[in-house]
């Protein structure tokens, strides 16, 4: 057995732990085992939504988004027409992918947007931002073929999308005072940086959801419990400090020493003006120390923070269709949209 096979995985993942047997800390899954480990745990959830793709204007060209709007029930339609129905909360959602990958179809974008919209009776706008080329030089899969993308272009894209949603809230059936921003992994970084930029502009989002985010270009040291968890799940914890630094420099296009708070939010000079924030970290995730340390930083600045730990899962659990812990993370976001 390997340490990863012995880790205290969530029940659905534990049933696949045999795929990890014999792996050392530096080993990778075979392509066949990788496919089996990542396979869906069930069918996608069913929600009654209108889903529309459109292109929004941005400073660097079009910004593709996908808009998820719950359909009104028959009772609601009889009680009030669209002009008088209460405005819904809204979420601008940003997928992950290391700033180099990801799209509107990946589960972390599409299934999460569907799941949160349905759970919360909220409008969700999922954003595709321009991606960076890989460090190897492989061009990014941008829709219009753009290459050579670096910060601040991805943040400019999501800022343009959020601004459009706020300005067109009535058209979307959304409440302009209740628009949250959220994202996962690299998207969590962009969501946090967008919150900072909007707050610096004097109009912060209603709240922020940062799901297993990367908030630092220099990874904080894990605490004792985090170190034990990461050792137990090797090699699936991923994200050694050097790889995080390379990812960060690929995103910024500059040496890591020149990164700013609009690129990695832990570097910002102030955080006290940020909105209430949910940070959801995964137990077996090399980025977990970054999310935990950023939560502590926000709390020290007086920001209302909810730090949630998704136990028994590695990085990217929102990409796992049918996983109970992914549903629980969507429940957390939906609860905040409904109840705040």
Catalytic residues: 185, 285, 315
Strand locations in 26-115, DSSP E?
49-56, 63-70, 88-94
Report the 10 Å Cβ neighbour count for 274: 24
Do 175 and 148 touch, CB atoms closer than 8 A? Answer: no
* E strand or H helix that includes residue 327: helix 324-339
Please give the Cα distance from 237 to 340 (Å, whole number).
33
| DSSP secondary structure of 193-223 | HHHHHHHHTT---S-EEEES----SSPPPP-
DSSP, res 47: -
Q: Which residue has the tokens 């990788």?
A: 34
Please give the Cα distance from 140 to 253 (Å, whole number).
14
Any idea how long the chain is? 340
């Amino acid at each position: 057995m390997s340490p990863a096979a012995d880790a205290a995985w969530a029940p659905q993942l534990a049933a696949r732990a045999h795929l990890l047997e014999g792996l050392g800390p530096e080993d990778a899954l075979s392509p066949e085992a990788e496919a089996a480990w990542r396979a869906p745990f069930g069918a996608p959830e069913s929600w009654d939504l209108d889903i529309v793709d459109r292109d929004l204007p941005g400073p660097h060209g079009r910004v593709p988004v996908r808009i998820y709007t719950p359909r009104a029930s028959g009772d609601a339609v009889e009680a009030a027409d669209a002009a008088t129905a209460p405005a819904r909360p809204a979420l601008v959602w940003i997928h992950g992918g290391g700033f180099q990958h990801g799209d509107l179809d990946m589960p972390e974008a599409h299934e999460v947007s569907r799941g949160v919209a349905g759970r919360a009776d909220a409008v969700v706008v999922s954003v595709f931002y321009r991606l960076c080329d890989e460090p190897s030089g492989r061009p990014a899969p941008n829709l219009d073929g753009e290459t050579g993308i670096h910060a601040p272009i991805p943040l400019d894209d999501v800022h343009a999308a959020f601004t459009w949603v706020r300005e067109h809230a009535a058209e979307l059936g959304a409440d302009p005072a209740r628009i949250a921003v959220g994202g996962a992994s690299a998207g969590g970084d962009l969501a946090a940086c967008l919150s900072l930029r909007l707050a610096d502009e004097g109009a912060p989002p209603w709240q922020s959801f940062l799901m297993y985010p990367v908030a630092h270009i220099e990874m904080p040291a894990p605490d004792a419990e985090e170190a034990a968890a990461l050792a137990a799940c090797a090699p699936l914890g991923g994200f050694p400090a050097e790889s995080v630094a390379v990812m960060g420099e690929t995103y910024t296009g500059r040496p890591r020493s020149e990164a700013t708070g609009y690129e990695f939010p832990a570097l910002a000079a102030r955080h006290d003006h940020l909105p209430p924030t949910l940070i959801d970290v995964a137990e077996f995730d090399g980025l977990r120390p970054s999310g935990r340390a950023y939560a502590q930083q926000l709390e020290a600045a007086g920001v209302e923070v909810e730090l949630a730990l998704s136990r028994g899962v590695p990085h990217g659990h929102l990409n796992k269709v049918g996983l109970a812990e992914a549903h629980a993370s969507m429940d957390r976001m939906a609860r905040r949209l409904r109840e705040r």
